[in-house]
Amino acid sequence: MGRRAVGFLLIAVVLAACGGGSGGTAAPSSGGGQATDKPDASKPAEGEPTPGTALTACELVTPADIEAALDLEPGTVSEGELKQEPTVLDPAVNECKYIDDSWGGLNALVTPTDGVNVYDALVDVYMKDAEALEIGDGALWFEKNDRGYFLKGSVIILLQFTHVKQSLDSFRDPTVEIGTSAVGRI
């Protein structure tokens, strides 16, 4: 399978995993970002690429990042719920969902080994709909569906607010602020 085909397949998986921007109803776990009972996808199987980070989505995007980006009081945002989302193309994919009635919701999806292919495919297919940002090794903001993609090395982070309680003109600025912080941790 060619690099471009692999990238397109991964984009389809990533977009499907994010549910097109609709918020979920699950409450954040009190498990402090611990993995579910699925296999540990943070460690590549023998012969698979090494992830560009061992940090999970909940470690790359923290409650403090969300609070700072939305100008919320410290302690407002609870720990996120970590979900391992291994794919055929990247067994280390994981997602952190932050959802709380008091402030809103944010999904962070991390693809730690195949991010370059995802980014290249996004640029090839969707660049006309994106704003290019100079963050990390590349970043894209999609105003139409309020998504930000942030690339550093082999890692790509997808951020999407599902909703917020406060009035915002756009999700762009808080998404860019959180994405910049996450890229800085890689």
Domain boundaries defined on the chain: 3-17+50-185
Whether 62 contacts 178, CB under 8 Å: no
| Whether pLDDT at 107 is above 60 | yes
Determine how β-strand 94-100 pairs with β-strand 138-142: unpaired
Q: Which fold has domain 3-17+50-185?
A: Protein Transport Mog1p; Chain A (3.40.1000)
The pLDDT of residue 80 is above 60: yes
Q: What distances in angstroms separate CA 101 from CA 27, 28, 29, 87, 143, one per listed residue?
A: 9, 10, 14, 31, 24
As a whole number of angstroms, the distance between CA 3 and CA 116 comes to 10
Model-wide pTM > 0.85: no
Predicted confidence (pLDDT) per residue in 82-103, tens digit: 999 888 778 899 999 999 989 9
DSSP track, 71-122:
TPPTT-SPPPEEEE---SS-TT-EEEEEEETTTEEEEEEEESSSHHHHHHHH
Please give the residue that has the higher pLDDT: either 58 or 168: 58
- Which pLDDT belongs to residue 2? 47
* Sign of the alpha-carbon torsion through 132, 135, 136, 142: negative
What average pLDDT does the segment 67-89 reach?
93
SS3 183: helix
Specify the DSSP element, H or E, that contains 148: strand 147-152
